[in-house]
Structure 1
Amino acid sequence: MSQIPWWGLPLVAVVFALAGAAAAQLVFARNNVLLNRTRRDRQWYDERKDAYVRLLAAFEHATHRLRASFDAGEKPPSALVYVDQIGPALMPVRLLASGPVRSAALAVHLQLERLHGEMNPAGVVGVQPQTHFRELLAQVPLVMQQLEAAIREELGIVDTPPAVPSLNGRAS
């Protein structure tokens, strides 16, 4: 006969069952934390990307409207109209963006706001208001490029597509 008491085998089974349940609970909790972190990261990326796209589209629309009114010889819309149209797209960027993106977005905003305001001929000595307006309007795409570069850097957007591994395991 064995020297093991009758209660030894059920006790070992209970200990291993509890250890297995604890290990399963720890793995589940770890996976849940990682999944939540992935969701938060994806939400962070999507919120910022949507805000940036809306702002870039609003800036492009304002720039196009300025060019069209200038080409037609009309007076540009007032600064209040511009702020009313850009404000809803600019506020999420001001709240969510990093410092470089926020600074670049405000630089574009100030440039466009200046173009929507009254062109003061006394503001720039020796320059006609129409020439000054055209020069400032030509600078908008350059400032927009800086904003786009800051957005690309923050979101980790690269110009090259990811490498596609070949199916046979060899480098292509």
Structure 2
Amino acid sequence: MRVSQIPWWGLPLVAVVFALAGAVAAQLVLARNNHLLDRARRDRQWYEERKEAYCRLLAAFEHATHRLRTSFDAGEKPPAPIVYVDQVGPALMPVRLLASGPVRSAALAVHLQLERLHGEMNPAGVVGVQPQTHFRELLAQVPLVMQQLEVAIRDELGIVETPPKPPASLNGRVRLRRAQLSAGQPEHHAEQNQN
């Protein structure tokens, strides 16, 4: 009969080492997953903050442009520059803080164009130019400058013009159920149609 060469404490020691290694591995996996989830949450928050700030600014610019156009068509003086700054300023400040360089430059270009339109129309140094014509030309340039801002925003946020393609691996039954559910049929009707 052969006696084992393993000491009495060897088996518990091996069990403790493997338990500690398993606990360390579990902690590393948990820390990695938490880091990835935190990064995904920060990315989503970054995207949402900027999208909200950009939408508010674009809406403020559209409102100011519409107000300028209606006051010009009615033959009234444009609103005072301070009214414009009070309206657009709260929407412009987050963009100035959060936006990348191209978006910030495009936003400030629109802002300066609208600010100029709210000021006195005095085309000094331009002989033969009527203030109304000058105002109309500057007002017609606002949508072009805003389009450059929209392009810069789309580039920064990664917005594409085409919707994402559906996954190609769906079988016909799942695709049929999704089509029926999106058409407004309840699930039990979708199951009856498949049978």
In the superposition, the TM-score normalised over structure 2's length comes to 0.84
Q: Are 1:150 and 2:158 matched, yes or no?
A: no
Per the alignment, residue 101 of structure 2 pairs with 99
Give the aligned partner of residue 13 of structure 1: 15
CA–CA distance in structure 2, aligned partners of residues 168 and 26 of structure 1: 38
1:47-106 CA deviation, whole Å, 9 max, x = no partner? Answer: 111100000000000000001101111111011110111100000000000000000000
Query: Structure 1 residue 168: deviation in Å?
Result: 2.7
Q: CA deviation at 1:3?
A: 2.0
Looking at structure 2, the residues matched to 124 and 31 of structure 1 have their Cα atoms a distance apart, in angstroms, of 65
- The answer for unaligned runs of 5 or more in structure 2 is 173-195
Name the larger-Rg structure. Answer: 2
Q: Which residue pairs with 2:133 in the alignment?
A: 131
Aligned-partner SS, 1:3: coil
How many Å separate the matches in 1 of 2:32 and 2:5?
A: 42
How many aligned residue pairs are there? 169
Distance 1:121 1:5, change over 3 A: closer
Q: For residues 44 and 124 of structure 1, what CA distance do their matches in structure 2 show?
A: 46
> In the alignment, which of 166, 171, 195 is matched to residue 168 of structure 1?
171
Give structure 1 regions of 4+ aligned residues with deviation exceeding 4 angstroms.
none
Deviations 1:137-164 (A, max 9, x none): 0000000000000000000001111111
Counterpart CA distance in 2 for 1:112 and 1:124 is 20
Structure 2 CA distance for aligned equivalents of residues 128 and 168 of structure 1: 68
User: Percent of aligned positions with the same letter in both sequences?
Assistant: 88
- Give the whole-Å Cα distance in 1 for the aligned partners of 2:21 and 2:38: 26
Q: CA deviation at 1:123?
A: 4.7
1:8-42 CA-partner distances (Å, limit 9, x unpaired): 11111000000000000000111111111111111
Rounded to whole Å, the distance in 2 between the matches of 1:123 and 1:34 is: 60
Partner amino acid, structure 1, of 2:157: L
> 5+ unaligned residues in a row in structure 1: which ranges?
none
SS at match of 1:76: coil
Corresponding residue for residue 23 of structure 1: 25
User: Which letter maps to 1:87?
Assistant: G
Q: Map 1:61-140 onto structure 2 (within 5 A).
A: 61-140=63-142
How far, CA to CA, are the matches of 2:108 and 2:123 in structure 1?
Answer: 25
- The 2-side partners of 1:58 and 1:125 are apart by 34
